[in-house]
Amino acid sequence: MMEPPEHLRMLKESAAGIAPRKGDLQRIRTLRFTEPGFDRQTWLTMCEMGWLGLRVAEESGGTGLGTQELCALAEELGAGLVPEPLIPAAMAASLLPADHLSEVLSGERIILPAWQEQPGSLALDGETLLRDGRLTGRKIFVPMAAGADAFLVTVQGGLALIERHAPGLHLEVQPTQDGGHFCTLTFDNAPAEPLAGDGRDALEHTIVANSAYLLGLMDRAFAITLDYMKTREQFGQKIGSFQALQHRAADLLIQLSLTRATVRSAAQTLDGQPARAACQAAVSRAKLRASDAAMVVTRTCIQLHGGIGYTDAADIGLFLRKTMVLAPLYGSQAVHRARFRAVAPEVSDD
C-alpha cells in the first residue's frame, strides 16, 4: 500500500490525542445517548488545532488546504468513532462569509448546515424559502444538531443563517442507534439572515469526507478483529489459525484496499476541480464503495468475534452501529447508484 504524502501523514498523526488508534473507547461510551452527544471542550481543542478551517481560505482565517487533507483527518476521526460534528461543521465553515468566521473557527460558536428536505434526495434548495428575512420550510437529518448555536440553511436562491433559539424555529431530536441523534428543523416565519452562496460543491466535499470517516471506522474494526483472532482460542488453537477465518479476513482486507483507493481517488479528483459530471461520478463511486464495504466489514467483524461481538460490552459493536447510521447519510446506496449511472456517460464522452 502506497504511503500518504508526508503532510497528510503528519495531519493524521495530529489526531492521535483525540482519536488514538490504540486507545479505548470509554469517552465514546460516556457520550452515547446524552445531549448534545459530544464534548464542547474537545470541540474547542479540535478548532484550536485548525481542523475546522482546513478548507477555509487563508485570508478568511483558515488553512486553505484541500479535500485530501480533510479526508485524511476524517479517516482518523472514523477510527476513533469521534462524535463531534466536524465534517458537517466544516461544510458550513467553507460557505460562511469571512465576517462570520472568527467565532466559528475558534470553536466558540458551532454552526451546522441544514440542507436536506426529502429522504433519498441530494437536492439542496427544495421548497424552503426566505422572504423578507423570514424563513419557512423544513430540513431533516441534521446530525448532532442539538449542540449547534446556529444553522446555515440552504434556501431557494442562496443560504440563510438562523440562530438555534430563534422564534419560529422548532427542533425535533431523533436519537440514533449509535448513541447520537439527527434533528428535524421546522421554520415557521423564523427570522434569518440572508447570505449569498451555493452549497452544491461543498456538499460533494462533505460526502467524500463522510466516506473517509467510514474508511477509518472499518479499518479500526478490522484491526480490532485481527487482534482478537490472534488471542482467542478454540479447540486448543488460536482462531486466527483456522483457514476459513483467514479467508474471511483476506476478503475484508480487499474491501478495505478498494475503499481506500476509491476515496483517495475521489479526493484527488475534487482537488483538481473537474467538470461537475466528473466530480459527481467520483463522489458517488466513493460513497457507494465506502457505505457497502463498511456494512460488510463491520458485520463480518461482529461474526468473527463470535457471541461476544453481539453484546453491548464489546467495542466491536460500536463500529457496526455507527456504520448503520452513517452509511445512508448524504445519500443512500440507491441514490448514488442512480446518480452515477446518470453522470457516468457524460464523463466517458469527455
The CATH class of 111-195 is mainly beta
Q: Per residue in 150-174, pLDDT tens?
A: 999 999 989 999 999 999 999 999 9
- Is it true that domain 6-106 has CATH number 1.10.540.10? yes
The mean pLDDT of 202-209, rounded to a whole number, is 97
The predicted structure's pLDDT at residue 120: 83
Which superfamily is assigned to 200-349 in CATH? Butyryl-CoA Dehydrogenase, subunit A, domain 3 (1.20.140.10)
The predicted structure's pLDDT at residue 111: 98
Let me know the angle formed at the C-alpha of 69 by 64 and 75, rounded to the nearest 5 degrees: 145
User: Does position 34 have pLDDT exceeding 70, yes or no?
Assistant: yes
User: Does position 348 have pLDDT exceeding 70, yes or no?
Assistant: no
User: Which residues have CB under 8 Å from 183's CB, separation 6+?
Assistant: 142, 143, 145, 146, 171, 172, 173, 174
* CA atoms lying within 13 Å on the CB side of residue 325: 23
- DSSP secondary-structure letter at 305? T
User: Does position 323 have pLDDT exceeding 80, yes or no?
Assistant: yes
User: Does position 1 have pLDDT exceeding 70, yes or no?
Assistant: no
The reply to whether the predicted model has a pTM over 0.85 is yes
The mean pLDDT of 194-206, rounded to a whole number, is 95
The predicted structure's pLDDT at residue 2: 56
Please answer whether residues 115 and 203 qualify as being in contact, where contact means their C-beta atoms are separated by less than 8 angstroms: yes
Nearest C-alpha neighbor of 101 from the set 141, 50, 167: 50
Of 17-26, 88-97, 163-172, 216-225, the one with minimum mean pLDDT is 17-26
Percent of the chain with pLDDT over 70: 96
So where are the chain's domains? 6-106, 111-195, 200-349
